[in-house]
Amino acid sequence: METKLTVREQVLDHAITLMMLRGYNGFSYRDLSELVGVKTSSIHYYFPSKDDLVLEAVNQYSGEVMRALQAVDPALPANEKLTKYTRMFGKTLGNGDQICLCGMLAADIGTLPETVREAVQAFFRANESWLAKVLAQGVEEGTLVARGKPESAARTLFAALQGSVLASRLFHTKARLEDVEAMWKAVP
Amino acid sequence: METKLTVREQVLDHAITLMMLRGYNGFSYRDLSELVGVKTSSIHYYFPSKDDLVLEAVNQYSGEVMRALQAVDPALPANEKLTKYTRMFGKTLGNGDQICLCGMLAADIGTLPETVREAVQAFFRANESWLAKVLAQGVEEGTLVARGKPESAARTLFAALQGSVLASRLFHTKARLEDVEAMWKAVP
DNA sequence: GTCTATAAACGGATAGAC
DNA sequence: GTCTATCCGTTTATAGAC
């Protein structure tokens, strides 16, 4: 039951993928034009400026990730929640050549407008607060280990995961992502 | 006793700074031309292609960081070594708008030649192996806490630091770097 | 070594026909 | 909505004079 995607949806999807591959300054309307099969002027019809495009891309991406987080069964033990979360990061790697869109845009932030910064910040905060709850649960259960406040532990964990996808792609291996996961799991 | 910098040295220094600010695809020969005060064609004289320029930039940057690591007194307790190391990362932040050159290039790797990938990989490995020794020492002394093998703990720590400079810049705060440091230090 | 001049492609963006 | 046509600045890079 695959629904046909509108041109607008196709553009947005390809824009997200291209940015995860090459960053904001590493792709052009022309790239999108060739991928979708419409002229660049048609893309400007939907997204007047590149800033508009990247902002909508972040919002779509964020929405997808948020939905995935809400889909995680709350009844699960915390270590299994973390496993699912790490697996999500593994999926963003794709064929080993992509990183998290918001990690990428955080790197590109020096060339992006304030509106995008705020959207990326919101993504970071949402992920960190979700992880903070999981860590708090895990400590109570004894399935995870975290030192200090769950909030600062969560910021560290999220940073480690962002850094690890970067390294995983750099070295063509998923092992670095697994290193991080293991570091927060209690040994039985 | 400030030595006059050659044009070549000035170009390289500015190229490093610009990439730490805006990434590989976020600066041009024209930017360098204006900063140094020579025409772009003169820059091509020293660095025929942008790929040549970025490769030399990484090598210079790596050399500087390696020298800084070697300058850390080996007799120091491990927690103090880690403090010095984190402070180095804090310095790269500059006015809060720069990140580690090799973290940035890891994000841009999809648009860079294989030679640069190898140079960035070498930078990662050197830092991780230095950190692994510090962690091993710290565990033995009881000044640091690390679980599992020092090598995988070091990869996680390095990833967390890279991720934290990214977040520090994104949120205009150095607090996130300190979160990471605290997470590996033993509480007395 | 540094310059002028220029090439040739690419960048985001717009006007107006259909 | 999509196209053709076009604008105009930018970008990397080279040739050749000084």
Q: Is the dihedral of CA B60, B61, B62, B65 positive or negative?
A: positive
| CB of A7 within 7 Å of some strand D atom | yes
User: Among residues of chain B, what percentage have pLDDT more than 70?
Assistant: 100
Question: Whole-angstrom distance between the N-terminal and C-terminal Cα of chain B?
Answer: 44
pLDDT along chain A (188 residues), means of 10: 91 98 98 98 98 98 98 98 97 97 99 98 98 98 96 98 98 95 91
Type of residue at B24: Y
Whether A112 and A24 have beta carbons less than 8 Å apart is answered as: yes
Distance (Å, rounded) from C-alpha B88 to C-alpha B97?
15
What nucleotide is nearest B30 when CA is compared to C1'?
Answer: D11
| CB of A40 within 7 Å of some strand D atom | yes
Question: Is B2 a domain residue?
Answer: no
Q: What is the number of other CB atoms lying within 10 angstroms of the CB of residue A113?
A: 13
pLDDT at B188 > cutoff 80: no
pLDDT value for A144: 98
Distance (Å, rounded) from C-alpha A56 to C-alpha B174?
29
SS3 B144: strand
Whether B131 and B65 have beta carbons less than 8 Å apart is answered as: no
Separation of CA A85 from chain center: 11
Distance (Å, rounded) from C-alpha A69 to C-alpha A87?
12
A120, B179: Cβ pair inside 8 Å?
A: no
pLDDT value for A165: 98
Q: What residues pair up with A185 in beta bridges, in sequence order?
A: A144
Whether A56 and A12 have beta carbons less than 8 Å apart is answered as: yes
What dihedral angle (degrees, nearest 10) is formed by the CA atoms of A52, B93, A174, A68? -40
B90 touches chain A (CB under 8 A): no
- Write the CATH number for B92: 1.10.357.10
Question: Is A2 a domain residue?
Answer: no
A159 touches chain B (CB under 8 A): yes
Write the DSSP string, B35-47.
HHTS-HHHHHHH-
Residue nearest C15, CA–C1′ metric: A41
Number of domains in chain A: 1
Distance (Å, rounded) from C-alpha A135 to C-alpha A151?
9
Question: Is A150 a domain residue?
Answer: yes
pLDDT value for A3: 84
pLDDT value for A1: 73
SS3 B96: coil
Closest CA to B149 of B131, B161, B164: B131
| CB of B44 within 7 Å of some strand D atom | yes
Whether B56 and B47 have beta carbons less than 8 Å apart is answered as: yes
A96 touches chain B (CB under 8 A): no
Question: Is B135 a domain residue?
Answer: yes
| CB of A44 within 7 Å of some strand C atom | yes
Quick: pLDDT tens for B87-146. 999 999 999 999 999 999 999 999 999 999 999 999 999 999 999 999 999 999 999 999
From A22, A99, A164, residue closest to B159, measured CB to CB: A164
Mean pLDDT of all residues belonging to chain B = 97
- Model-wide pTM > 0.85: yes
From A124, A162, A170, residue closest to B109, measured CB to CB: A170
- Which residues in chain B touch residue A181, judged by CB atoms under 8 angstroms apart? none
Question: Is B1 a domain residue?
Answer: no
The residue segments making up the domain with residue B157 are: 7-184
Q: What is the number of other CB atoms lying within 10 angstroms of the CB of residue B111?
A: 17
Residue of A179, A184, A185 to mutate, testing the B interface (most B Cβ within 10 Å of its Cβ): A179
Q: What is the number of other CB atoms lying within 10 angstroms of the CB of residue A50?
A: 17
Distance (Å, rounded) from C-alpha B123 to C-alpha B89?
14
Q: How far is the CA of A108 from the C1' of D13 (A)?
A: 26
Distance (Å, rounded) from C-alpha B134 to C-alpha B78?
5
Question: Is A12 a domain residue?
Answer: yes
B164 touches chain A (CB under 8 A): yes
Question: Is A47 a domain residue?
Answer: yes
Closest CA to A101 of A63, A52, A151: A63
pLDDT at B1 > cutoff 80: no
pLDDT value for B186: 87
The residues in B 131-150 lying below 8 A from A, measured between CB atoms, are: 145, 147-148
pLDDT at B2 > cutoff 80: no
Whether A139 and A145 have beta carbons less than 8 Å apart is answered as: yes
The Cα of A22 is separated from the nearest Cα of chain B by a number of Å equal to 5
pLDDT value for A153: 97
Whether B99 and B166 have beta carbons less than 8 Å apart is answered as: yes
Q: How far is the CA of B1 from the C1' of D12 (A)?
A: 37
pLDDT value for A186: 87
Q: Which nucleotides of C are covered by protein (CB under 7 A)?
A: 1-5, 10-16
Whether B158 and B130 have beta carbons less than 8 Å apart is answered as: no
pLDDT at B173 > cutoff 80: yes
The Cα of A3 is separated from the nearest Cα of chain B by a number of Å equal to 31
Question: Is A169 a domain residue?
Answer: yes
pLDDT value for B149: 96
pLDDT value for A2: 75
Q: Please enumerate in sequence order all residues whose Cβ is within 8 A of that of A48, keeping only pairs 6 or more positions apart, or say none.
A: none
